Structure 1
Amino acid sequence: MAVLVLAVLAVGFTLWAAQGVLLPVLLAMFFALVGNPLIRLLRKAYIPRFIGALAVLSGGLAAAILLGQQMLPPAMDWASEAPRQMRQLAPKLQQITRPVQEANKAAESLARAAGGETGRQPQVVRTAQDDPYRMLARTPRLVAAALAVVLLTFFFMVYGEKLQRSAIALLPGRQQQKFTVDILQRIEREVSRYVLTITLINVGLGLAFAGVLAWLGFAPNEALLWGTMVALLNYAPYVGPLMGWIVILLVGFVTFDDPLQALLPAAAYIVLQTIEGQLLTPIILGKRMALSPLVLILALMLFGWLWGIIGLLLAVPLLVCVKLVLARVEGMEGWARLLE
Structure 2
Amino acid sequence: MPACGAAFRAELASFEAANRWVQTMVSEYRPLLHAHGHWYLGEALERFTPAVLVLPLLLLALLRAPLLGLGGRAALFVLASGTFALGCYEVKLAHFFQILWPLVLVIGGEWLLQRLPLPARGACTPSKVGAAVALLLVAWSAWHLPRGTTQLSAAQLAQRELMDFVRELRGNGPDPKLPAAVLAPWSLGAPLLYEARKPVVASGYHRNLEGIHDGIRAFLATDGAAIEPILRKRNVRWLIVQPKLDFFAEASAVLPELPRYASVRDVRFGPGRVRSTDFDLDWDLLERTILFQLGFAPQVRSTAQARLVYESRSQLAMPPPLGVAPAFRVFEVRLTEERGR
- Common fold: TM-score over 0.5: no
More helix by share: 1
TM-score by length of 2: 0.22
More strand by share: 2
